[in-house]
Amino acid sequence: MSTPTALVTGATGKVGRHVVDGLLEAGAEVRALSRDPERARLPPEVRVLPGDPTDSTALADAAAGADVALLVWIGFDATGAEGPVAMLGERVPHVVQLSAADLTTGGGSVQQGVWADVESLVEQHAEHHTFVRAGGFAANTLGWAEQLAGSDTVRLPHPLATRSLVHERDIAAVIVRAMLDPAHHDRAYAVTGPDALTQAQQVATIGRVLGRDLEVAEQPHEEALAELAGVMGPEFARQSLGYWASLVATPEAVSPDVERVLGRPALTYERWVQDHRADFGG
Ligand SMILES: NC(=O)c1ccc[n+]([C@@H]2O[C@H](COP(=O)([O-])OP(=O)(O)OC[C@H]3O[C@@H](n4cnc5c(N)ncnc54)[C@H](OP(=O)(O)O)[C@@H]3O)[C@@H](O)[C@H]2O)c1
């Protein structure tokens, strides 16, 4: 493929912006789908089209003639995904999906979890697929920034839950490789950080980078459930909390796939905090 044309959904998001930069750097022609192209703030070389992945018509227009597409399905279940995914599969020979290492969370159409449901649809409809199954995003811990603005304590439901948090730049770098190199067709990668840290260790890392003495306090389950349910709905919140509780006894796996695909070690959580110092007021 000389100058591939790549469609990026979720292009203005945490991962998507890095994907766009990586594709441009590699010389691809980039199209992006955004609900509000005027506010997308993407590089001028990118053709930004209006819409989102739930809109089959917008997706069809954006996908016409593209060689590869990144699918970022935003939603806590797969309701409404079949039409758009089928449309994408008809028009684009290779669909890369930003999926999740924990495939089973979320109530989907066949009750196996949103990410597995969307993967099944992609597998069914696209000629080639690549599933980039991300572990917990390091960026999820930006949710602590508000607490840390007013205090040195972070309240958490499971401080000893142990996760291999991944830097969004690594997720994007794996996606870019997958989008541009047919060697990654019909593969699935588990994309995690290089080591597993308890949430208490994550908070300590933020403290170390910011030069602050931070503490963790255990948040009661019911309070955490109520907070999360407001963001993601009660069912997904209950499943997420259950998953985090399980990570106390069974730490999240550390995958070698970032290093395998990129030829360098995955970025550490400490590196991620350094890159996001300003977001924590540092
Ligand atoms: N957080 C985790 O730990 C984790 C782990 C594994 C997998 N994932 C998956 O990663 C994906 C999220 O990636 P990300 O964090 O890079 O995305 P993001 O920053 O949350 O959002 C990406 C873009 O999607 C669009 N968007 C946001 N909300 C939307 C909505 N309600 N309806 C339609 N479009 C919306 C926005 O673009 P416009 O405003 O330009 O339209 C946004 O910039 C999801 O599929 C998630 O399930 C997350």
- Single pTM value for the model: 0.95
pLDDT at 179: 98
Atom of ligand 1 nearest to the CA of 16: 16
- Protein residue whose Cα sits closest to atom 35 of ligand 1: 74
Does 84 contact ligand 1 (Cβ within 6 A)? no
Does 40 contact ligand 1 (Cβ within 6 A)? yes
Does 277 contact ligand 1 (Cβ within 6 A)? no
pLDDT at 199: 96
Residues 6+ away with beta carbon under 8 Å from 171: 15, 18, 98, 132, 134, 137, 191
| CA distance to 51, 83, 122, 219, 258, per residue, from 87 (Å) | 14, 6, 10, 44, 30
Does 282 contact ligand 1 (Cβ within 6 A)? no
pLDDT at 109: 36
Q: List domains and CATH numbers for the chain.
A: 5-138+166-192+253-266 (3.40.50.720)
Return the best residue to mutate from 8, 48, 72 for the ligand 1 pocket (most ligand atoms within 8 A of CB): 72
Does 46 contact ligand 1 (Cβ within 6 A)? no
pLDDT at 106: 42
Residues 6+ away with beta carbon under 8 Å from 226: none
Which residue, among 119, 123, 156, 160, has the nearest Cα to 248 in the 3D structure?
160
Does 131 contact ligand 1 (Cβ within 6 A)? no
Does 272 contact ligand 1 (Cβ within 6 A)? no
| Ligand 1 centroid distance, CA of 54 (Å) | 12
Alpha helices, H only, the chain: 16-25, 56-63, 82-91, 114-125, 145-150, 168-180, 199-210, 221-232, 234-249, 257-262, 269-275
Does 106 contact ligand 1 (Cβ within 6 A)? no
Residue 251's φ and ψ, nearest 5 degrees, are -55, 150
| Ligand 1 centroid distance, CA of 193 (Å) | 19
pLDDT at 28: 98
* Calculated CA dihedral for residues 109, 115, 117, 123, nearest 10 degrees: 160
Does 34 contact ligand 1 (Cβ within 6 A)? yes
Return the best residue to mutate from 52, 117, 243, 257 for the ligand 1 pocket (most ligand atoms within 8 A of CB): 52
For the chain, residues with pLDDT lower than 70 are: 1, 103-112
